[in-house]
A and B are shown apart, each in its own frame.
Chain A
């Protein structure tokens, strides 16, 4: 597609439920990143995919968080047993070569855990 697409744009869930967030990167972009932006906080790196593999998962905050990418395209970030501190905007970005061309971000999914 023309840009990075994320869905849903907003998600309200009850504490303890599982949620899935989807990212559809720009066609042909091999690298995909997930970030989290909490209120009053900066941008926190979560995980990086190159193709379907994730060579850097160092930012995932706990084992409740997991992500996968299939077909070198769509990625899903799953949060199990959500907690209130998981409330944030989850951002996805893709790139062909980040150092040379930069990264294109989606509009994000605003997750609210009540």
Chain B
């Protein structure tokens, strides 16, 4: 079945450091890929998405490129801020009933 694997957290960085959170997937067909973010005490928010191979999703300085050859969708940001501290979820939308399949989430902690 479809699945998403994310790197274990927490990821601890200093402000202005470079961020990478790895995400790989297993899927039949051609899923859409998403990153969601959950700030402390809040609900899930869509951060970015990509619907086909080689697409790059971007938002708020975050980027991720849909790599079909490596079945990956790694999240990157060039310079993190304290306000980026949150849990980040990688997800795919399967081609059947389109339900989202989530990774286990990666907690990011950014210190000043």
- Residues of chain A at the chain B interface (Cβ within 8 Å): 31, 33, 35, 41-43, 45, 48, 50, 55-56, 91, 93, 95, 97-100, 102-108
Contacts and interface: CB of A to CB of B under 8 A. Distances in A.
A43 B43 contact: no
Interface string B41-73: 011111001010000000000000000000000
Nearest to A107: B43
A93 B105 contact: no
Contact of A48 (B45, B89, B99): B99
Interface of B: 31-32, 34, 36, 42-46, 49, 51, 89, 93, 95-105
B43 A105 contact: yes
Given A99-B51, A100-B51, A42 B105 contact: yes
For the complex, would chain A's binding face be called helix, strand, loop or mixed by DSSP majority?
strand
A13 to B, nearest CB: 21
The 8 closest A-B pairs by CB, nearest first: A43-B102, A105-B44, A107-B43, A98-B98, A42-B104, A99-B32, A56-B97, A102-B46
A48 B103 contact: no
27 contacts: A35-B100, A42-B89, A42-B102, A42-B103, A42-B104, A43-B44, A43-B100, A48-B97, A48-B99, A50-B97, A55-B97, A56-B97, A93-B44, A97-B98, A98-B93, A98-B99, A98-B100, A99-B32, A99-B95, A100-B32, A102-B46, A102-B49, A103-B93, A105-B36, A105-B43, A105-B44, A108-B43
Contacts of B100: 33, 35, 43, 45, 93, 98, 103
A106 B43 contact: yes
A56 B36 CA distance: 23
Contacts of A48: 97-99
Nearest to B57: A102
Contacts of B99: 33, 45, 48, 56, 98
